[in-house]
Amino acid sequence: MRTPSPAEPSPLRPASGTGAFSPLVAVVGPTAVGKTTLAVRLAEAFGGEIVSADSRQVYRGMDIGTAKATVAERARVPHHLLDVIDPDQTLGLAQFQALAYAAIDGILTRHRIPFLTGGTGQYVMAVVEGWRVPIVPPDDALRGALYRWAEAEGAEALYARLQAVDPAAAQRIDPRNVRRVVRALEVCLATGRPISEQRGKSPPPYRTLMIGLTLPRPQLYRRIDERVEAMIELGLEEEVKRLVAAGYGFDLPATSGVGYGQFAPYLAGRATLAEVVQAVKRATRRFVRHQSNWFRLDDPRIHWLDAAADPFPAALELLVAFLSASPAADSEV
């Protein structure tokens, strides 16, 4: 099948701006599986633009450890929602969702195809399913008190508090994810209502194709190991040191995460660089296991492709069929 040129007129492109049947393509899957590479190739072939759905790539100055699209990739295809905030700032789910919808609608208005790409399942699903997200501004005092309480009593005790006030929300949150537990409690305490009662879904005005990339765990773990080692070669240690020198300590959610927080004992002289590398690999593997809760192989909405071989030809066929289908057809999501 011939790949359409981005420059030529094509019936596969959105004929107008936003509307009830405007196309949205989501490329999902675990870390290091090859989402960015595939999305760039597809967007380049079909005249598209990429909207990042990664909760860490929104931070400025955090490029290597978050595996942002390279300068060359961004030159090939426009990217959105990278470098949105500084590491000591926060971007709530409602804010991300609003920014993503604005970016998607802007792309459609330019008669181009939006590709929502990233491994943050909460971000992806909030957009494609149209979550109604409670808009509660962060309360730094309350949030700080909850974090201090969790540090003193333990993550399990904090999770037990959430179970007591909102068992439905607690069921959907990993007890070890202190940040999400704190946010759920913050909304409950600020509004006086369980966060689960304030949520629902209002499907957005898009028909969505979801393409997922998958690999057997042993192969994926090898890719993760190779990626971490490549990050070190690219200068991850120097990137972390620049962030710390700029005043961004490891107590921040941004810099305490995978790829950054593991450097804290090293910079304090309590660990070797080799130990940091192993810690980052282990943390990334744990994160992959968490991602599988969002991107399930039995989800009928996701067209899973084997990333061991080149997934581009199969993705190309899916995309051509999707864009050629009648706009009145039922949405994939």
Could you read off the pLDDT of 239-298 as tens digits, one per residue? 999 999 999 999 999 999 999 999 999 999 999 999 999 999 999 999 999 898 899 999
- Tens of pLDDT, residue by residue over 199-219, are 677 889 999 999 999 999 999
DSSP 194-238: -GGGG-EE---SEEEEEEEEE--HHHHHHHHHHHHHHHHHHTHHH
Average pLDDT score over residue span 149-160: 91
Strands 206-214 vs 302-306: parallel, antiparallel or unpaired: parallel
Confidence of residue 136 (pLDDT cuts 50, 70, 90): confident
pLDDT in tens, 10-47: 334 444 455 558 999 999 999 999 999 999 999 999 99
Residues 127, 37 share a domain = yes
Find the domain containing 181 and state its range.
Answer: 140-198
Q: Is residue 63 part of a domain?
A: yes
Q: Residues 225, 284: one domain?
A: yes
Domain total for the chain? 3
209 and 65 in one domain?
Answer: yes
Are residues 112 and 171 located together in one domain of the fold?
no
Burial class (CB in 10 A: 0-12, 13-18, 19+), 190: middle
Q: Quick count: other Cβ atoms within 10 Å of Cβ 44? A: 15
Residue 174 has pLDDT above 80, yes or no: yes
Q: Are residues 211 and 223 in the same domain?
A: no
Residue 282 near residue 304 (C-beta atoms within 8 A): no
Q: What is the pLDDT of residues 69-102, one digit of tens each?
A: 999 999 999 999 999 999 999 898 999 999 999 9
Residues 166 and 275 in one domain: no
Q: Is residue 78 domain-shared with residue 211, that is, in the same domain?
A: yes
Same domain, 29 and 123: yes
Closest CA to 123 of 261, 21, 28: 28
Least confident of 184-188, 235-239, 249-253: 184-188
Q: Chain centroid to CA 9: how far? A: 32
Q: Mean pLDDT score of the chain, rounded to an integer?
A: 89
Question: Parallel, antiparallel, or unpaired: how do β-strands 206-214 and 131-132 relate?
Answer: unpaired
Whole-model pTM over 0.85: no
Per-residue pLDDT band at 9 (split at 50, 70, 90): very low
Residue type, 240: V
**Domain identity same for 298 and 281:** no
- 3: Cβ–Cβ under 8 A, 6 or more apart, which residues? 45, 316
- For the domain that residue 94 is a member of, what is the CATH number? 3.40.50.300
> Are 62 and 122 members of one domain?
yes
